């Protein structure tokens, strides 16, 4: 059991039978009336963010979460199959529980969040940036660099990313998995 004084960003709590991560919180002490805590909570499986206010000192069920490294193996009709890199145990995770799934390729490492007591898999997080090869893009026009224009490019996972005009087919680019935005050419 934890109280509102124990709140911190990233903490996982159980509220009405659902699991939430605390995105941000603010202790408020008005001049008149009791203190309270305003929070933004992100639902673990759906990703929906809600605002919730707690009275100061309220007891909350804290959920212990473990982060474990897993490696992506393949996709089948059950979902995406991963292997724990420490125990070599294989698990299947549904697409909805993986952040940035459209940039996932075989052999990639992800961090899986597991409920410590029940061993239930909550989410799988991709690294913030991945390097992918451009499989197709229209050729850019020489000298057309005066404007910051972007063109569509298909990467090796099949996802489409907007890239600058100078990027050619076969080049490797770095992509932000959270937003799907081109970052830079890969070295």
For residue 112, give the CATH number of its domain: 2.40.50.140
Given 125, 140, 160, the domain boundary residue is: 125
Last residue of a domain, one of 62, 80, 101: 62
Which of 125, 145, 167 is at the close of a domain?
125
Considering the domain architecture, whether residues 119 and 70 belong to the same structural domain is answered as yes
Residue 165: the pLDDT is: 85
Same domain, 144 and 117: no
> What's the total number of domains in the chain?
3
Q: What is the reported pLDDT for 144?
A: 61
Cβ contact 2:62 at 8 Å: yes
Residues 52 and 75 in one domain: no
Q: Encode 69-127 in three state secondary structure.
A: EEEEEEEECCEEEEEECCCCCEEEECHHHEECHHHCCCCCEEEEEEECCCCCEEEEECC
Q: Give pLDDT tens digits for 125-148.
A: 889 999 999 999 988 766 666 667
Per-chain mean pLDDT for the chain: 89
The reported pLDDT for the residue numbered 141 is 67
For residue 33, give its domain range.
2-62
Q: What pLDDT score was predicted for residue 46?
A: 77
| Residue reference for tokens 């990027």 | 167
121 pLDDT band, cuts 50/70/90, is confident
């Amino acid at each position: 059991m934890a109280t509102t004084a124990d709140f911190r960003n990233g903490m996982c709590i159980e509220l009405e039978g659902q699991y939430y991560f605390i995105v941000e919180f603010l202790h408020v002490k008005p001049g008149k009336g009791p203190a309270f805590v305003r929070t933004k909570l992100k639902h673990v499986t759906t990703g929906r963010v809600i605002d919730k206010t707690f009275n100061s000192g309220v007891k909350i069920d804290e959920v212990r979460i473990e982060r474990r490294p897993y490696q992506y193996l393949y996709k089948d009709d059950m979902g995406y199959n991963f292997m724990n890199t420490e125990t070599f145990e294989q698990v299947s995770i549904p697409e909805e529980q993986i952040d940035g799934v459209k940039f996932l390729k075989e052999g990639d490492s992800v961090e899986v969040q597991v409920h410590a007591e029940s061993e239930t898999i909550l989410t799988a997080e991709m690294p913030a940036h991945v390097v992918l090869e451009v499989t197709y893009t229209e050729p850019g026009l020489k000298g057309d660099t005066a404007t910051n224009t972007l063109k569509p490019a298909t990467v090796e996972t099949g996802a489409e990313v907007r890239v600058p005009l100078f990027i050619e087919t076969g080049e490797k680019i770095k992509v932000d998995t959270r937003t799907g935005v081109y970052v830079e050419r890969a070295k």
